[in-house]
Amino acid sequence: MGYTKSAKAEALPEKWYVVDARDQVLGRLASDVAHVLRGKHLTNYTPHANMRTHVIVLNADKIRLTGDKWETKLYHHHTGWVGHLRETNARKLNERKPGELVRKAVWGMLPKNRLGHATMTRLRIFSGDQHPHQAQKPEPLPTRQAAAQSAAR
């Protein structure tokens, strides 16, 4: 009887992907990015291994939110002082820290453990359309929607 092969992180090649976030809905983009960062798009996906995929997000400051979420979606953080729970809406957060909306959305879709923290280090977010990672030869991000359409053909 055979056994299931587990991917060894050190034996996997590093893959780089790039995605343009301009006019993409935040949650759908974050879902696709988290899916690829975890390595779930690979046939040898292993839940406990670092699948060595990197994602570059460009134009993160031009992300789109549906409805009136720019004003009503709130982000909270605590300063550490008693009674100092701060909150800001999505518009103010995007103006102050471009790309932070994408980072928080992707982090919300990853496991909250050592592997999740290591996975976040492989996410690069830029507010412009230039990045310093051309030497890694990034490919376009494989979205689940495009994969489903090609499988249906």
For the chain, give every domain's residue range.
Answer: 14-143
50-87 pLDDT per residue, tens: 999 999 999 999 999 999 999 999 999 999 999 999 99
Domain covering 14-143 in this structure, CATH number: 3.90.1180.10
Beta strands in 64-125 (DSSP E): 74-78, 85-89, 123-125
97-117 pLDDT per residue, tens: 999 999 999 999 999 999 999
- Of the listed ranges 40-49, 65-74, 106-115, 140-149, the least confidently predicted one is 140-149
- pLDDT (0 to 100) of residue 80: 96
- pLDDT (0 to 100) of residue 28: 96
Residues 77 and 38: beta-carbon distance below 8 Å: no
Report the chain's mean pLDDT, rounded to a whole number: 92
